[in-house]
Amino acid sequence: MNTKLKLVSLLTCICLMLGATALADTYTASSNGYGGALNVEVVIEDGVITDVILGEHQETNVVMDRAFPVIRERILEANTADVDSVTAATFSSYAVKLAVADAMEQAGLEAPAVSRDNAEKPATERAEESCDIVIVGGGPAGLAAAIAAKQTNAEANVILVEKLDILSGNGKFDMNFFDMINTQAQHAAGEEKWTVNQVETFIEEKLKGGDTLERVTAWANEANTLDAWLRDLGIELNYNYGGTNHMAEADRYAGEVIQAGLERAVSELNVDVRTGTKGTDLVMEDGVCKGVTVTNNAGETYTIRAASTIIATGGFSCNKELLAEYAPGYEVFNTSNQMGATGDFVKVFEKYGFKMDQMGKMSFFSNIIVPRRDLTGGADMNLFVNKEGTLLPNLSGKDRGTLVQAQTGGAAYYITDKTGYDSFYRIRKHVGLGYYEQGETLEELADALGIDAAGLTASVAQYNADAQAGAENAMIADVPKRALDAQGPYYGVRVEGANHMTKGGVVCNEHAQVLMADDSVVDGLYAAGEVTWQSGAYSQSVCFGKIAGAHAAANLK
């Protein structure tokens, strides 16, 4: 034991003998999380951990803001670092546990061995419960459903279960909230297409996606009032950057603001939220849905009976077995989606004969950062190169993903210049977070990325020559938009193509009611979001979550 610890122990003993309050001491420790170094301060008083304070870290804020309070509470309650990690923040919470174990050792306590993965709990049965509406899934659709249900019927008893330990699904990461019309930001930007006869325009455009006229009409009406609804919840999307695209501000992602606001509203409306609780099956009696069975982190299995059940469990981008079955060829790619997108209710829906559609339809994103998986791109002009510095064709979809996998080391790089950096906030944010490498010259950038400098400079010289001549570049599929800046800085990051969303799922009507294979309604059962077949994405999930919650609550009356 070092001198400091001996002194602390001696003073503690003296205080205890005198009947005084034991002294507390603060220990600083660090470990490596998902994004790099993570620091904590741990307050220990008479062998008891009384506080854990998060210091500087490189973790994603929308994850850590939710996960740290959970892991802190678990550590304080158990008085040890040997607690369950927070699902959906496994690496980050493991880093906190390691740091706290280090602090315990510094304090002269027995430091426990901590594991990243949680041990499976013994299975037990718990008594059946009941409520008015049970919602399975705490992402955008599920949270919107809970809020709309309580707004429609304040007396409704609503339970929301989420299998992960934190809420908001993939929505909390999204930069863009699109397919919203008649917004304050659009009016301010003079977007007349989306502020004059906008509902009719929306219906006309969205019918091309394959949804029914009834569902598109319902969607359009919700999209037309969605901005006002969000603002009533204290959620402001003040930046329109063309068309239906919205961010919270010019320098702030939409997703983090929307999802924090939805979570706040759910709490204020006293919705019974149960994280770490996974829906496993439906309770079906004579063709009517009477609730769900669930299993929680403690290993307890129980039934929640309800007048209405809303399934909002997301897609299956993180389930390679389901991808291989329904969208063969896509299972070989990474995903930008969150770890909960495992298609938990796909086989449940099939078991009961519900209508499924578009199961092989995918949304594939061109560039996610390796290894972080953040969506990137969007610069007004970029170069796409391999380790040899050779320009690659700017393909899209699955073809792009396959192209990257065929390169040396399966590596490809997204490169832009200062003009590109200035053109799009996502690039500026990622550069500021240190995700991109930088170089004042192309040679410096190539060295930082680990690609061939001579090959890159030769490729850029040819690209610039073609751009200046206005001729089609033989090496790439499209005419260069402009030449790369003659002077640095230049920015680059390793990327790959990835499965962003699965589009297929259970089929619902305009009220978000689940349909049988013969198009009849399944009484008592609704679905919304990526678990359904829908042509849209984030905002459509919120819209049909609202519809499901409001319709279910109105039926209670």
The pLDDT of residue 350 is 98
* Backbone CA torsion sign across 474, 388, 455, 426: positive
Q: What is the pTM of this model?
A: 0.93
The pLDDT tens digits for 329-376 are: 999 999 999 999 999 999 999 999 999 999 999 999 999 999 999 999
The pLDDT tens digits for 19-52 are: 434 468 999 999 999 999 999 999 999 999 999 9
Q: Give burial (CB, 10 Å; 0-12/13-18/19+) of 169.
A: buried
Average pLDDT for residues 314-318, to the nearest whole number?
A: 98
Asked if the model's pLDDT at residue 68 lies above 70, the reply is yes
Q: Is 260 left (phi over 0), alpha (psi -120 to 50) or beta?
A: alpha
pLDDT category at 14 given cuts 50, 70, 90 is very low
pLDDT category at 15 given cuts 50, 70, 90 is very low
d(CA 450, CA 334): 22
The pLDDT of residue 144 is 99
Q: Whose CA is closest to 105, among 44, 24, 16?
A: 44
3-class SS letters over 431-490: HHCCCCEEECCHHHHHHHHCCCHHHHHHHHHHHHHHHHHCCCCCCCCCCCCCCCCCCCCE
Asked if the model's pLDDT at residue 4 lies above 80, the reply is no
**Lookup: tokens for 36:** 């790099």
Q: Whose CA is closest to 273, among 157, 410, 370, 190?
A: 157
Average pLDDT for residues 437-456, to the nearest whole number?
A: 98
How large is the C-alpha radius of gyration of the chain? 26
Q: In this structure, are residues 268 and 261 in contact, taking their beta carbons and an 8 Å threshold?
A: no
The pLDDT of residue 557 is 75
d(CA 477, CA 279): 47
What is the chain's length?
557
Phi, psi (rounded to 5 degrees) for 514: -70, 145
* Backbone CA torsion sign across 167, 171, 174, 180: negative
Torsion of CA 544, 548, 554, 557, to 10 degrees: -170
Average pLDDT for residues 533-540, to the nearest whole number?
A: 97
**Strand, helix or coil at 169?**
helix
d(CA 457, CA 444): 11
Percent of the chain with pLDDT over 90: 92
DSSP-assigned beta bridge partners for residue 501: 363
User: Largest Cα–Cα distance of the chain, in whole Å?
Assistant: 88
Please measure the distance between the N-terminal and C-terminal CA atoms of the chain and give it in whole angstroms: 68
Average pLDDT for residues 224-251, to the nearest whole number?
A: 98
pLDDT category at 479 given cuts 50, 70, 90 is low
Percent of the chain with pLDDT over 70: 94
The set of residues, in sequence order, having a beta carbon less than 8 Å from that of 17 and lying 6+ positions away, is: none
Q: In this structure, are residues 68 and 60 in contact, taking their beta carbons and an 8 Å threshold?
A: no
* Backbone CA torsion sign across 77, 78, 81, 83: negative
The pLDDT tens digits for 461-474 are: 999 988 887 754 44
Q: Which residue has the tokens 């909390």?
A: 172
Asked if the model's pLDDT at residue 475 lies above 80, the reply is no
Phi, psi (rounded to 5 degrees) for 8: -60, -45
3-class SS letters over 348-394: HHHHCCECEECCCCEEEEEEEECCCCCECCCCCCCEEEECCCCECCC
Average pLDDT for residues 263-292, to the nearest whole number?
A: 98
* HSE (side-chain half, CA atoms, 13 Å) at 500: 22
The pLDDT of residue 23 is 62
DSSP code for 192: G
The pLDDT of residue 3 is 39
d(CA 329, CA 333): 8
Cβ neighbours around 471 below 10 Å, total: 11
Q: In this structure, are residues 169 and 161 in contact, taking their beta carbons and an 8 Å threshold?
A: no
The pLDDT tens digits for 97-140 are: 999 999 999 999 999 999 999 999 999 999 999 999 999 999 99
Phi, psi (rounded to 5 degrees) for 50: -105, -15
- What Å distances lie between residue 324 and 213, 317, 348, 483, CA to CA? 31, 11, 18, 41
Average pLDDT along the chain: 94
List the domains of the chain with CATH numbers.
Answer: 3-106 (3.90.1010.20), 132-306+326-361+503-556 (3.50.50.60), 365-499 (3.90.700.10)
**Strand, helix or coil at 69?**
helix
DSSP code for 345: T
**Strands 505-506 vs 37-45: parallel, antiparallel or unpaired:** unpaired
**Lookup: tokens for 77:** 């309650």
The pLDDT tens digits for 401-429 are: 999 999 999 999 999 999 999 999 999 99
Q: Which residue has the tokens 């009384």?
A: 50
Q: Whose CA is closest to 382, among 331, 417, 344?
A: 417
The pLDDT of residue 162 is 98
d(CA 463, CA 471): 10
Asked if the model's pLDDT at residue 53 lies above 50, the reply is yes
**Strands 490-502 vs 362-369: parallel, antiparallel or unpaired:** antiparallel
d(CA 280, CA 300): 12
pLDDT category at 11 given cuts 50, 70, 90 is very low
The pLDDT tens digits for 490-504 are: 999 999 999 999 999
